[in-house]
Structure 1
Amino acid sequence: MNQHLSAVSKPPIICIMGPTASGKTDLAFKLCDVLPCDIISVDSALIYKGMDIGSAKPTADELSQYPHRLVDIIDPADSYSAADFVRDAKKEIADIQSKGRIPLLVGGTMMYFKSLLEGISPLPKADADIRAQIETEAAEHGWQYIHQLLAQVDPVSAERIHPNDPQRLTRALEVYRISGKTMTQLTATKGQGLEGNIVQFAIAPTERSELHQRIELRYDIMLEQGFEQEVENLIKRGDLTDDLPSIRCVGYRQMWQYLHGEYDRDEMVFRGVCATRQLAKRQLTWLRSWPNLTWLTTNDDNNLDRVLEVINESNKL
């Protein structure tokens, strides 16, 4: 397969996880330079067409040199669930393996990784009519009322979901109204997880302050690259709203609200950076309890050698 793999009996599936702005993509590119890897994006923002700058999507040149699967696959007006990702990712993994190459899954959407690796619960698909009904009830009575309705039928989910989280509240109540079973009951049943020689890495700076600096720098670069114009173009379409998952993506929501006059530019930058920091914190919280991870440090020159070493060890097992 390649001189950098000492054994080929069990070609691996490689996962590179980490918080936003930690260096996942750069490491993936280096790995592609020495191994026959094909990248699968594990990122809930990169799936959207026309959302390039604010999602830190690789450039056109980078995508040409290092093609990514599951990038630019849906319109921002459309929905895409973890179940959709699992279906698509498994299909791409099988296609890559059929060509004798190595699937390299890279990203920071931890729910996607978890659903793929562990299997996803058999939850019903979204129902537009039921969602509209729930949103009408929320408009009349408030989201606290929706939270109380959920607590009556699924107290476990109600305990987990904040009253000010309309997206998850809607989904949990929707699941119950569609199926007659609670989210708690259905998530107790797992589907088929990913099988094979799976090698998992997480990359992050050792100091949180360094990650914060990288996030601020990236946000500044996005603004210089035309992030504001990108969101203006989304607004001009006329069919998008700020309650869509696409516009709720970190950075986009803050820019959207700024462009609608909800606060000034300085406040937009502050809120955007803070929201990105909070995302990174949630990602790190997921990763700290993640099993079977090899940790790497951002900007460590030995990262590539360490990854190759771990992959070779996994092939010997």
Structure 2
Amino acid sequence: MPQPSHQPLQGTRAPRGRRTRWTAALLALLTVVGYVVFVDWTGSHGLDCFVEANGTRLGLQQPQAANAATIGAVASSRDLPERALTIALATAMQESKLHNIKGGDRDSLGLFQQRPSQGWGTAQQIMDPVYSASEFFDELVKIPGYSRLPLTAAAQRVQHSGFPQAYAKHEADASMLAAALYGRAPSLSCRVPSGGSAGDPAAVRQRLAREFGAQVLERQGTTDGTPADVPGAAAPSTTPKDTDGPTVTVPGDAVADPTDEDATQHGWALAQWAVAHAPQLRIAEVAYRGRVWRAKESGSGWVKDPSRPGHSYGDVRITVEH
């Protein structure tokens, strides 16, 4: 009598194999979808900071935004026109993609790929973004009428690049970023992680003074932006508020009228600088003129501050993790 076979029937193997393949494919699809959602919520694709203007969006990695904000602060400390910042940003975009890189062509270093052998300073100095930006502007302002020159011509006079026309392709992005960093178009926001170690308000003040100049912390009027020589106004003080616990309060408005866009440019420049440097300085919240950015909700960008009406304060309030 024939013995029963212990081999599985051929007719039952194919459906089981198809089910396995379908299951594997479904798991792969869910993995991809999950990753896309994760990237959308966390910015893990690397573009954590954004500037938007006139329907155009410029994405930056957070270190790029921080370096750009530092260049902007140095330009502001020297009272340079926005055009100077645009030229500097376009140059750094081409030379280093706004990364403070440790190497390049021959002995080139840093944001602007400056060379110690060409008199730009020591390697350690050039790797300091504040120093390298200052050196760039030192050379730029020596060029007669630089602000009226084509960007490529002005940048080339400083850089002496082998590819001077390459700077031109960055002009539009650099111009949009400069407008944001100078506070003329307050549109820079970053998505950063919140929580973790506590921040240090003293470190924030020190960084502000180093990049914008010590005068940035000096109070020239009252906290609502009213000049101190207005009858009834409080006497001026040049001492920043150091008793606010985890919050650093910096004078923002340049003049009394908060509805004047020029009055709030300086404040927005400070506020967006703080957002760009939030991870390094452990900044949890930045508030100015009725808008607030919070690290724990940074995916939402700048939102209305329900706790304070829009024109009730002219200070920029930077609160660190605590």
Same fold (TM over 0.5): no
- Larger RCO (CA within 8 A; separation ≥ 6): 1
The structure carrying a bigger helix percent of its residues is: 1
Largest Rg, 1 or 2: 2
TM-score between both structures, scaled by the size of structure 1: 0.26
TM-score between both structures, scaled by the size of structure 2: 0.25
